Amino acid sequence: MKNSISFLVLVLLGLNLSCAQQGENEVSTPDKITFTPQLIIDDLPIAWGMAFLPDGSILITEKSGDLIRFKDGNKSIINNSPTIYNRGQGGLLDIAIDPDYKNNGWIYISYSSEEGEDKGGNTAIMRAKLNGNSLTNNEVLYKASPNSTKGQHFGSRIEFDNDGYLYFSIGDRGDRDVNPQDITKDGGKVYRINRDGSIPSDNPFVNSEGAKTAIYSYGHRNPQGMVKNPYTGDIWTNEHGPQGGDEINIVGKGKNYGWPVITYGINYSGTPITDQTKKKGMEDPLHYWVPSIAPSGMTFVTSDKYPSWKGSLLIGSLKFQYLERLELKNNKVVYREKLMPDLGRIRDVKQAPDGFIYVSVEGKGIYKLVPKI
Amino acid sequence: MKFIIITYISALITLTLFLSQDKALEESIKRGADIYSDFCVTCHLPNGKGVEKTFPPLAKSDYLLKNREESIRGIKFGQQGEIVVNGITYNNTMPAMGLDDEEIADVMNYILNSWGNKGKDFVTPEEVSKIQKK
């Protein structure tokens, strides 16, 4: 009898443990909403990325190809923006300004490009300067190859670390068994380059035969969120899993994040991809979502405008159409909260230099989160 | 006798045409399945049921079956705003996927002939090419 009781206790304990991640994935609804989302820029079908200029204007990349400047309440189109390969998830993607923008004026853009011999397109990174209503000094810093007519997984976010290196992501381009685990191929990678496009001499694969030397980490599926953790200086990414298995990772030099060898996700058809979620030499995610939320842009809250959110991570959900706030403790997600429900697919979120949070919602435009007094 | 031969020949021609069209449709549906799994499946899902209130269903979708032209236009140029599908309102954005006319015809034939849907006529690239942006 005593034995059977301890057995029962063990079984119950086991059940609790196996439900632990399930519990983490339950998203809470806050009791009190402490902000009002105010639509400041309307009529934007898919505002993919945002960059905030020192003069208070906002540069917006519209997926279908327009680069837009919003200044003093007006939108204008910036000429000479990169020619995009409009296919599937490709288009005009992220935009970021140089850490030393005030002195050098460089703007960085990621987009899908047809450049090259073969049919189709792949992700490219360009830098340029803004002169009046036009981009000038356009330079392509990186163009992934080969081109492909597949519509999936172009990435791509741009971020800088404290040393001024430029990081960007490219997804697996719909070729998961070919690209992500092979460092001689583009796709399924996070890249690190100097801001002029040259390769840092201490990149992890500079001495590897045939490697794409811009690669910083590999084994990614489709990272569409990337931000520097302002507290640690680390580069954080989120990426789309297949069905289930979206992840948050801290990007480490030369590390392998396991796609498609290990994943918490399954095929869209419901069949398994692998039964492995862990493997030696491959990194576990800091957090994963089952079911997938389809994470896009992300930002850390550091400003004093939202005292109760300080230190939180904000991530947009494309699938469930809300803004997720994640509280972290020692690099673990300890609480998840659902904000801005039912407004639409959230594509990007950024804390701007003015300390306010700006959120891009597909089919609507850009919202500013105004704290309630 | 002459009449019988003419009838016989014309029947043969009709049958051949019918069969070759059937074969063409079959091939188009096959290509369309690949397009679907590349461009559409992440939102509309393998079973074509979508996600209620977020991504409209294609399987047994009254909107799709009643609005052929509008559906092709949506795939060709993207679609935005409110639509009612099987009594449920959707207000979302589908970007243009950058598919060419043949690919659009193929994927239309696939979705019109899957999950219990039965399309009336074969969608051709010519039909797609005539549909203009509104």
How many whole angstroms separate alpha carbon A117 and alpha carbon A131? 31
Residue pLDDT, tens place only, A6-49: 544 444 444 443 333 444 467 999 989 999 999 999 999 999 99
Flag whether residue A320 sits within 8 Å of chain B, measured between CB atoms.
Answer: yes
Interchain pair B95, A45: CB under 8 A: yes
Amino acid letter at B5?
I
Mean pLDDT value across residues A222-251: 97
In chain A, residues with a C-beta closer than 8 Å to the C-beta of B81 are 363
Residue predicted with more confidence, A85 or B1: A85
Mean pLDDT value across residues A343-370: 96
Mean pLDDT value across residues A130-159: 97
Residue pLDDT, tens place only, A68-98: 999 999 999 999 999 999 999 999 999 999 9
The secondary structure of residue A169, as a DSSP letter, is E
As a residue count, chain B comes to 134
Sequence-distant (6+) residues with CB within 8 A of A87 are A112, A120, A121, A149, A151, B97, B98, B99
Classify the C-alpha dihedral A98-A72-A300-A266 as positive or negative.
Answer: negative
Is the residue at A15 inside a domain?
no
Total number of domains in chain A: 1
Nearest CA in chain A to B37: A268
Residue pLDDT, tens place only, B58-115: 999 999 999 999 999 999 999 988 999 999 999 888 989 999 999 999 999 999 999 9
In chain B, residues with a C-beta closer than 8 Å to the C-beta of A152 are 38, 42
How many whole angstroms separate alpha carbon B122 and alpha carbon B100? 17
CATH number at residue A223: 2.120.10.30
To test the contact with chain B by mutation, choose from A92, A154, A222, A345 the residue with the greatest count of B C-beta atoms within 10 A, namely: A345
Is the residue at A342 inside a domain?
no
Q: State residue A25's pLDDT score.
A: 60
Residue pLDDT, tens place only, A324-346: 999 999 999 999 999 999 889 99
Cβ pair A300, A347 in contact under 8 A: no
Residues of chain A numbered 75-114 and touching chain B (CB < 8 Å): 85-88, 90-91
Q: State residue B17's pLDDT score.
A: 66
Q: State residue A21's pLDDT score.
A: 44
In chain A, residues with a C-beta closer than 8 Å to the C-beta of B92 are 344-345, 362-363
CATH number for the region B2-130 comes to 1.10.760.10
Interchain pair A46, B97: CB under 8 A: no
Flag whether residue A321 sits within 8 Å of chain B, measured between CB atoms.
Answer: yes
Q: What is the ipTM of this complex?
A: 0.78
Q: State residue A342's pLDDT score.
A: 85
Flag whether residue A347 sits within 8 Å of chain B, measured between CB atoms.
Answer: no
Is the residue at A327 inside a domain?
no
Pairs across A and B, CB distance < 8 A: 54
Is the residue at A4 inside a domain?
no
Q: State residue A208's pLDDT score.
A: 97
Interchain pair A64, B41: CB under 8 A: no
Where residue A4 falls among pLDDT bands split at 50, 70, 90? low
How many whole angstroms separate alpha carbon B79 and alpha carbon B56? 12
How many whole angstroms separate alpha carbon A120 and alpha carbon A259? 24
**Mean pLDDT for all residues in chain B:** 90
Residue pLDDT, tens place only, B2-44: 777 777 777 777 767 666 778 889 999 999 999 999 999 989 9
**Every domain of chain B and the residues it spans:** 2-130
Is the residue at A346 inside a domain?
no
Range of the domain at A234: 46-298
> CA angle, A343 as apex, A81 and B62 as ends, to 5°?
95
Nearest CA in chain B to A120: B98
User: Catalytic: A287?
Assistant: no
